[in-house]
Structure 1
Amino acid sequence: MTELLDIFRALADPTRLRIIALLREMELAIGELAAVLDQSQPRVSRHVRILVDAGIVERRREGSWVFLRITRDGAVGDTIARAGEWPYAPREALVIAHDARRLAAVRTERAAVAERYFAEHAPQWDAIRSRHVAESEVEAAMLAMMHNRRLGHLLDIGTGTGRMAEIFAPTARRVTALDRSPEMLRIARAKLSGQGLPVDLIQGDFLDLPMAGASIDSVVIHQALHFAQEPDRVIAEASRVLRGGGHLLVVDFAPHEDEDLRALAAHARLGFSDAQIRGWFASAGLLLENTETLEGGTLAVKLWLGRRRSDEDQPPVTQEGQGQRKRLAA
């Protein structure tokens, strides 16, 4: 009973109920919560700490920012999922509705930040896009290659603006979008927050993924591998978190000699060959199932689809093989 009592004690406050209502809509930082509630940050922080201690709310750090979200697992997730059915008094319902209107201002500010970022970086991105086939064709090819494959819990490594999470979310059970840059995650959050997609945005490094081994059903690395000094380690780390039979889709450039991309966009690698990817896949326990080349412009875009080896991929052991193993063991 202790856990349940802690939950109800933590919820027994008007401000904390307002916080729950807001976090059910979207992840928020302490400062954003304070602005919507029109309360000081120290006061809001105290209420948040009580909710965190009760296991109702989770903190997640992104650079200097800390974002809050409702805990989704266990008794807490089931209880808060029914918050829309809670019997608010008319006056309480008016306060909740007022907060929702103020929350719209947070969404607007996030969108404005994203627009400013896009405006500042548009010339750089346009210069890169002009070198290869249209993004719409790349996305169509990716969706076709993953069609009829179980996406389950999909991990988008190097999510950037969140576009891959956006296009795959409708057919995945859950999407985790990871990026090293807190700024890019804020852009992705602004882009995805109003679409109701099941996406978790987390900060992390593609060389040290913050998730357990064999916990992910599918992984996408779209135009991120060329930033890696050690791309083989990135693929090995992606393979580590994949369940047996899970898929890894890598999308990047074929080998090229466009040195401008090193200075223009900090590319550490100028594309990859099929032989390189095949070798790295094999070393990481992945079977290369499919490849595709999209020509257009001066850069060719490549798609490589690998599958994590499972027990079914191991050849059956014959009686002769069993006897040989026994002799070796002896």
Structure 2
Amino acid sequence: MNFGIDKLVELLKAVGEPTRFRLLMLLSAGDLTVTDLTEILGQSQPRISRHLKLLGEAGLIERYQEGAWAYFRLTQDGDAAALIQTLLASTKSDDAVLNRDGERLAAVKRNRAERAQSYFSRNASEWDELRRLHVDDDLVESALLKLVGGEGADSMLDLGTGTGRILQLLSDTYRRGVGIDASRDMLSVARANLDKAGVLKASVRQGDILNLPLDGNEFDLVVIHQVLHFLVHPELALNEAARMLKPGGRLVVIDLAPHSLDYLREEHAHERLGFSHSMMSEWLSRANFSVEKIVDVEPREPSAKALTVTMWLARHEAAVVDLNAKLPRLVGSN
């Protein structure tokens, strides 16, 4: 860490107030809303918002929007983030105020988990039916871990994160993880699952995977798991993934192999009935990826309704994607 005296004094002033320090300690355990923080600290919303504004202006926390809700989290990178981690680690483990805050935080997370479980239970029958269609999850996850291998990632992006399972599964691979999903209900499930698993280095937020609310060129690894078959133009998601990756970064696509279960279109909103090796490889090539490996994971007991899952591992060859490739080609056009 290297600070000029003015900057260091500014940071210490921002931290050096009891409520603001307590806020930083709470946010070190995961993303929280103003409502969450108000409930935990027992202070008014305007007061909490004012403290959060000061911490944000000092560059110590980040704010992002999810529908009508605003979430806050600690800044993850840079000298200011390192300073905060050092200060937080210097607190006594038996501090009564911080321990009481921790107990209230645990209660907030329990309520969050109960709401998420309620949503998941209401939709359990649909989830179970879809999962029975393709290869067992344990086979897919084992193959994914093997495919990603020992090459670590400073930052990972999970597009269409759903329940947050991929962020949990690959948590030993990355230093910082971000999950994006369009459904606030699914994000509630993901947050509860990440809390339960103790994965504090990953956060999730709402967004359109075809128009991501993130700066480009900032991730080493992007995963798109069982998402592309819901899209009319899956190739656009690949282009957006390319925009997110640093040069040399890796993309893993996990999706269904070609199949003939047409009822999935009407009953489960599938736009595509799987993807062939050649089709996906062509799209990846157009988005400036080089395909390094393709893996087919077949069901233990093949049948007419047992679907194979395919994985593509590709590496981004350039920092800039041809924007013309983002435009879907119309049938019959030149």
Normalising to structure 1: TM-score of the pair?
0.87
Q: Does 1:13 align with 2:17?
A: yes
Change (3 A) 1:150 1:72: closer
Change (3 A) 1:190 1:295: same
CA-based RMSD of the aligned residues comes to 2.2
The question of whether the paired residues in 2 share the 8 Å contact of 1:180 and 1:203 is answered with: yes
* CA distance in structure 1 between the partners assigned to 2:91 and 2:35 by the alignment: 29
Shift, 1:62, TM fit: 1.0
* CA distance in structure 2 between the partners assigned to 1:87 and 1:290 by the alignment: 47
Shift, 1:268, TM fit: 1.8
Shift, 1:43, TM fit: 2.2
Q: Does 1:66 align with 2:70?
A: yes
Change (3 A) 1:146 1:231: same
1:249 counterpart residue number: 252
Q: Does 1:208 align with 2:211?
A: yes
The question of whether the paired residues in 2 share the 8 Å contact of 1:138 and 1:294 is answered with: yes
The question of whether the paired residues in 2 share the 8 Å contact of 1:169 and 1:197 is answered with: no
Shift, 1:152, TM fit: 3.5
Deviations 1:136-179 (A, max 9, x none): 11111111111133434221111111000111111223222222
1:56-95 matches, within 5 Å, as 56-86=60-90, 93-95=95-97
Who wins on radius of gyration, i.e. which is larger?
A: 1
* CA distance in structure 1 between the partners assigned to 2:13 and 2:154 by the alignment: 36
* CA distance in structure 2 between the partners assigned to 1:293 and 1:33 by the alignment: 46
Change (3 A) 1:214 1:46: closer
Q: 2:311 aligns with which of 303, 315, 321?
A: 303
Higher mean C-alpha displacement, 282-291 vs 212-221: 212-221
Change (3 A) 1:11 1:196: same
The question of whether the paired residues in 2 share the 8 Å contact of 1:220 and 1:250 is answered with: yes
Deviations 1:264-315 (A, max 9, x none): 332221211112101101111112222222222522211112222269xxxx
Change (3 A) 1:75 1:213: closer
Deviations 1:220-279 (A, max 9, x none): 110011121111111122123223332211111112222332233322212111121011
The question of whether the paired residues in 1 share the 8 Å contact of 2:158 and 2:166 is answered with: yes
Aligned length, in residue pairs = 309
The question of whether the paired residues in 1 share the 8 Å contact of 2:156 and 2:177 is answered with: yes
Greater fraction of residues in helix: 1
1:32-111 matches, within 5 Å, as 32-86=36-90, 93-111=95-113
Unaligned runs of 5+ in 1: 312-330
The question of whether the paired residues in 2 share the 8 Å contact of 1:162 and 1:188 is answered with: yes
Unaligned runs of 5+ in 2: 320-334
Higher mean C-alpha displacement, 11-20 vs 26-35: 11-20
2:317 counterpart letter in structure 1? R
The question of whether the paired residues in 2 share the 8 Å contact of 1:166 and 1:197 is answered with: no
Normalising to structure 2: TM-score of the pair?
0.86
1:235-274 matches, within 5 Å, as 235-274=238-277
1:76 counterpart letter in structure 2? A
1:3 counterpart residue number: 7
Q: Match of 1:130, SS? A: helix
Change (3 A) 1:56 1:150: closer
* CA distance in structure 1 between the partners assigned to 2:58 and 2:254 by the alignment: 42
* CA distance in structure 1 between the partners assigned to 2:92 and 2:202 by the alignment: 29
1:49-198 matches, within 5 Å, as 49-86=53-90, 93-194=95-196, 195-198=198-201
Change (3 A) 1:17 1:128: same
Q: Does 1:276 align with 2:279?
A: yes
Change (3 A) 1:74 1:278: closer
